[in-house]
Amino acid sequence: MLRLTLPCAAGLLLAAPFAHATVRLPALVGSHMVLQRDRPVPVWGWAAPGEQVSVTFRGKTYAASAPDASGRWQATLPATPAGGPYELTVQGQNTIALTDVLVGDVWLASGQSNMQMPLKDRPGGYQPVQQADQEIAAANWPSIRFFTVSQTVAYHPQAEVAGTGWQVCSPATVAQLSAVAYFFGRDLHQRYHVPVGLLVSSWGGTPAEAWTSAEGLQALPVFAPQIADFARRTTNLNDDQRAYETRQRELLRNARAYDRGYLPGGQTWASPTLDAHAWPTLALPGLWEGAPGLANYDGVVWFRKEIDLPAELASQPLTLTLGKIDDADSTYLNGVRVGYASGYNQLRRYPVPAGLLRPGRNVIAVRVVDTGGGGGITGEPKELLLSPANGAPGVPLAGPWQYQLGLDPQLQPVPPVPGGGQHAPTALYNGMIAPLQPFALKGVIWYQGESNADRAEQYRTLFPALIADWRHKWQAELPFLFVQLASFMPAQPMPTESAWAELREAQALTLQVPGTGMATAIDIGEAADIHPHNKQEVGRRLALAARRVAYGDKKVVASGPTYASMAVAGNTIRLKFSQPHAGLAVTNGPALQGFAVAGADHKFYWATARLEGKEVVVQSSEVPQPVAVRYDWADNPNGNLINKEGLPAVPFRTDNWPLSTAGNQ
């Protein structure tokens, strides 16, 4: 009998070297894995037709089902208490022995970049979490194991998935692990003293519909055309995506051969003598996808703007700032290149030597290269400026710019999915969630929503549909815990509408789904970084929700004050909150902040607010007859209402006036 041992560290499927050695396992079933305690555990793999397969675990042997038409077999291990390490042996014509198997709690951690963000990434990636080096050095938790799924997309649900293999948590392995998943798992392990398995399947910048199956999206007909298109496909989405990217790279790598902006005689479209008056215009800053002919364009666009300079500015050194550009740029003044950079999140600041500009007419030209997704000059309007070093007023550059496509759209390959397959409905479910079934889980933690922020009303249906879909596929009412979007982007001086606030509201409404819990992160975001660095607190708050929802500890306070009701009293509104046993408190100063009130005209003004026992009383001199209150209703609010446990109040609005976001279907 041939005996094969699979070392977990490889995380790969090993092909048997002999024809009769046919039993194999998915990458997810390997040494060092954690199996879910206290419930039946499926173990599966593939074998030859008619082959008899058995699984031996803790001294007992269990027969597997006969291989089906695809060769798949499955055995079910009985409910087992936490413990280990154990050996698990799969026996067919060959034998596979897995070692160091633990039994504990297994959590699936999924979502977009804030779930993907590791403790400490490679240079050029995410910024590390707070105190990353200290956290990594202390990460000696041999009973915490993790498996990170390789990012992949698919037209149809896949049977297998690649990944890191199950790794034992240590300072040598933990740096690239999802920070949220790690801090969540560490908290639960320290509290319940059982092994914890973390199954991480995440991809930055992805929408919720990409993580939902075709069956799960049936209630949202807006996605039906894309789903139908996928159903007709007979090729491989990964292969199609790679072929497209290869051709696109060829075009961009040989830009001088293809780019129409490079003219005979060494001239370019940046030349000040070029007559560009017939070029169309586009308001900058902004992504170019909204312009005619640029909806799905990835390539080269030249932007031009003519400015008039007074003599005193033209005669001195200046600084040209353009904010952020997606992805790379070459920037010219009067045909002379003054700077170039690459990176969608890098601020562009280019020095302009005295003498390059002249009094009167001057031409700024920016050649922008976009390799995928959105493209354009994307910073803040105030960042587009030509300014002197002495602090005197400069020349604002935001507004209309002329533009022209450098690469002929006819040369551009057609992407299998505009913007990348990871954005398409079902693509990530098919490639990164379906292959994980039926691995037994304790529950799910989820950090996503940024990519759906412009479709908050739709998210009210989409997110519950995703939860129901995963529960149906796993045939279990899995506890589903999620993070509400943190604060982000510049603070606004006056109350205003906010797509992010509306998405947070959609997330909070999802708590109506049984078995769900939410970690509010409104107080730990960062204006300039969509990825908050304090992932320790995010993990802790998710663990609080887990203790209450998944572990049944109803005494734990897992949420901050949550709006319950309001009553108008003259020119004031009195607000009541649920979970009063936790008490109300104020952080960051004695005065309550973040409240706004409106009258019947729907116009909101900042309010003064005060605590009165278990209630908050709000009013504004601008609103003598208030009818509605909003709290932390902004992209980046400054609210400071907490409970005695230090958890922030959940953002809310009492009005039900129409949502402002577009594109909801």
Average pLDDT for 58-83: 97
pLDDT at 581 over 70: no
Domain closes at, from 371, 405, 439: 405
Question: Residue 605 — very low, low, confident or very high, per pLDDT cuts 50/70/90?
Answer: very high
Tally of residues, the chain? 665
Predicted pLDDT at 251 = 82
Token couple for 33:
């894995």
Question: Could you tell me if residue 380 is inside a domain?
Answer: yes
Q: Is 310 domain-assigned?
A: yes
The lowest-confidence range among 412-421, 491-500, 627-636 is 412-421
| Domain membership flag for residue 57 | no
Q: Would you say residue 665 has pLDDT above 70?
A: no
The identity of residue 255, as a single letter, is A
Q: Which two tokens stand for residue 60?
A: 């007992």
- The residues, ordered by sequence, that sit 6+ positions from 650 with a Cβ below 8 Å of its Cβ are 484, 508, 518, 520, 522, 559, 560, 561, 562, 563
Rounded to the nearest 5°, which phi and psi values hold at 90?
-110, 125
Convert the pLDDT of each residue in 197-230 to its tens digit: 999 999 999 999 999 999 999 999 999 999 999 9
Query: Domain boundary at 382, 405, 428, which?
Result: 405
Provide the 8-state DSSP code for 478: -
Per-residue pLDDT tens digits for 329-377: 999 999 999 999 998 888 999 999 999 999 999 999 999 998 877 899 9
pLDDT tens-place string over residues 364-386: 999 999 887 789 999 889 999 99
CA distances to 27, 120, 141, 563 from 9, rounded to whole Å, are 11, 20, 17, 48
Residue 476: left if φ>0, alpha if ψ -120 to 50, beta else—which one? beta
- pLDDT of 20 above 50: no
Integer Cα distance of 658 and 220 in angstroms? 20
How many Å apart are CA 181 and CA 58, to the nearest integer? 29
Give percent of the chain above pLDDT 90: 82
Q: What is the full DSSP assignment across 150-163? A: PP---SS--S---B
Please report whether residue 311 resides in a domain. yes
Q: 524 to each of 448, 488, 531, 532, 648, how far by Cα in Å?
A: 16, 9, 10, 7, 10
Counting the structural domains of the chain, the total is 2
Residue type, 526: E
- Predicted confidence (pLDDT) per residue in 435-487, tens digit: 999 999 999 999 999 999 999 999 999 999 999 999 999 999 999 999 999 99
pLDDT surpassing 80 at residue 539? yes
The CATH number that applies at residue 358 is 2.60.120.260
Note down the domain range covering 370. 260-405
Would you state the pLDDT for residue 297? 86
Per DSSP, the three-state class of 513 is coil
Does residue 324 lie within any of the structural domains?
A: yes
Q: Which residues contact 334 (CB under 8 A, 6 or more apart)?
A: 272, 356, 357, 358, 362, 363
pLDDT at 7: 37
Assigned token pair, 429: 């479910």
* Inside any domain, residue 462: no
For the entire predicted model, the pTM comes to 0.85
Q: Give the pLDDT of residue 17.
A: 34
Would residue 183 count as lying in a domain?
no
Long-range residue pairs from 134-139, CB within 8 A, at least 24 positions apart, any chain = 135/536, 136/171, 136/174, 136/175, 137/171, 138/171, 139/169, 139/170, 139/171, 139/174, 139/182, 139/186
Give the H/E segment covering residue 501. helix 499-509
Tell me the Cα Rg of the chain: 28
301: β partners: 368, 405
- The residue among 381, 405, 429 that closes a domain is 405
CB atoms within 10 A of CB 661: 22
- CA 300 – CA 259 distance, rounded (Å): 8
Contact 543, 482 (CB under 8 A): no
Which residues in 527-557 are b (16+ Cβ under 10 Å) and which e?
eeebbbbbbbbbbebbbbbbbbbbbeeeebb
How many angstroms separate the CA atoms of 334 and 365, rounded?
8
515 assigned to some structural domain = no
